[in-house]
Structure 1
Amino acid sequence: MISEAIKNRRAVFPVQYNNDAISKEEIKEILEAANWAPTHRRTEPWRFKVILGETKGELAGFLAKTYKEKTENFSEFKFQKYLNNPRKAACIIAICMQRDAKQAIPEWEEIAATAMAVQNMWLMAHELKIGAYWGSPGIVKYMDQFFEMADDERCLGFFYMGKYDGELDAGVRATSIEEKTVWL
């Protein structure tokens, strides 16, 4: 039931991943779910770059090096996360958005459509018992130095994925929907 999937989906972080592989078929199924997200005027602005194998280590090196070079408030803890998290994931999908310059659609709507595509990915990954986490570090603005990007395309973050053992904690919300809703 979709309501149960929505309530039970959790962020599963790279430190929680085991060493089990994610098949290409599972990745394709997750990406196909993304492709069915709502999109104003059918612009389908989401773009994805699948990072596997040795490229994960190359990404880790790039992220750590870029963080060290570009940050003003260096943290060894963050540096180590950039260096290690990509290697812990079975797969990383760079979440990108490409605006159609011919369309007069506000940028926030294209970002929202891309976020809905990621929500679809997250729900499909959850159904497949694959843990996932969306991270958007500030250094994503430099990703055009790591992989090729089209005109008007930008990286919004990374969707880390990995299989995990055990059960996930139950979800909670700080306040009820009634406290966040005004009926007019």
Structure 2
Amino acid sequence: MSSNTLLNALHSRRSVLANNMCEPGPNDEELHDILKAAHRVPDHGKIGPWRFFVFRGDKRAEFGAILKLRFAQKENSASAKLLEFEAQRFMRAPIVIGVSSNPNLQHKVPVWEQELSAGAACQNILLAAQALGFKAQWVTEWYAFDEDINKVLELNENERMAGFIYIGSTKEEPSERVRPDLNERIIHWGE
């Protein structure tokens, strides 16, 4: 890949709402390539302070049933329509990858650096999906922060979800959104 091709891909990266995704999603080989890219992020200390949870096929609906039940417990006045949305949440895309930040608290590398590595893994998943022609969205919705859902996922005591990345195809290209002015975010120190 030429540097211009890579830069064009980076400059045009755009999330697509999970609600706008459809089949097909990545096949086994493509999924492996996506996770391989996530595994290659900067990782000071070679700790691998993240884990990947793959939801596809019927497992998305099984997890959706768990989300629906937990949401009903949290929001006892939730409507049937809202509960059905929770049940179908992971069905919005062919594949959902949960990424956890799983820092090693005994390691000399600061936890903050380990957490940043998990965020970099999420970004590489987005970029790898794009490189393979798929669309993706990284979200942290209520279930990313729910202690009971964390128990279902069998997270360790200090582990937490960095987010869930929905991956699939789309029938329409997303429109460009207004972004903050880059020049207002650049500081040339000492000038």
Name the TM-score class by shorter chain.
Answer: 0.7 to 0.9
- Alpha-carbon shift at residue 73 of structure 1 (Å): 9.1
- What are the ranges of 5 or more consecutive residues in structure 2 without an aligned counterpart? none
Instruction: Please give the residue correspondences for 1:27-176 in structure 2 after superposition, counting only pairs within 5 Å.
Output: 27-71=31-75, 79-140=83-144, 141=146, 142-150=148-156, 152-175=158-181
- Tell me, in whole angstroms, the C-alpha distance in 1 between the residues paired with 2:59 and 2:123: 25
Query: Structure 1's 170 and 146: CA in aligned 2 closer, same or farther, altered over 3 A?
Result: same
Query: Structure 1's 41 and 82: CA in aligned 2 closer, same or farther, altered over 3 A?
Result: same
Moved more, 114-123 or 17-26: 17-26
2:7 to 3, 19, 34: 3
- Alpha-carbon shift at residue 149 of structure 1 (Å): 3.3
Contact 1:38-1:113 at 8 Å conserved across structures: yes
Question: What CA deviation, in whole Å up to 9, does each residue of 1:111-151 have, x standing for no partner?
Answer: 21111111111011011111111111233233333233345
- Cα root mean square deviation, aligned: 2.4
Normalised TM-score (structure 1): 0.86
- Tell me, in whole angstroms, the C-alpha distance in 2 between the residues paired with 1:152 and 1:174: 34
Query: Structure 1's 129 and 148: CA in aligned 2 closer, same or farther, altered over 3 A?
Result: same
- Alpha-carbon shift at residue 173 of structure 1 (Å): 1.6
Q: Secondary structure at the match of 1:42?
A: coil
- What are the ranges of 5 or more consecutive residues in structure 1 without an aligned counterpart? none
- Tell me, in whole angstroms, the C-alpha distance in 2 between the residues paired with 1:28 and 1:137: 25
Normalised TM-score (structure 2): 0.83
Q: Give the share of equivalent positions with the same residue, in percent.
A: 25
- Alpha-carbon shift at residue 68 of structure 1 (Å): 2.6
Aligned length: 183
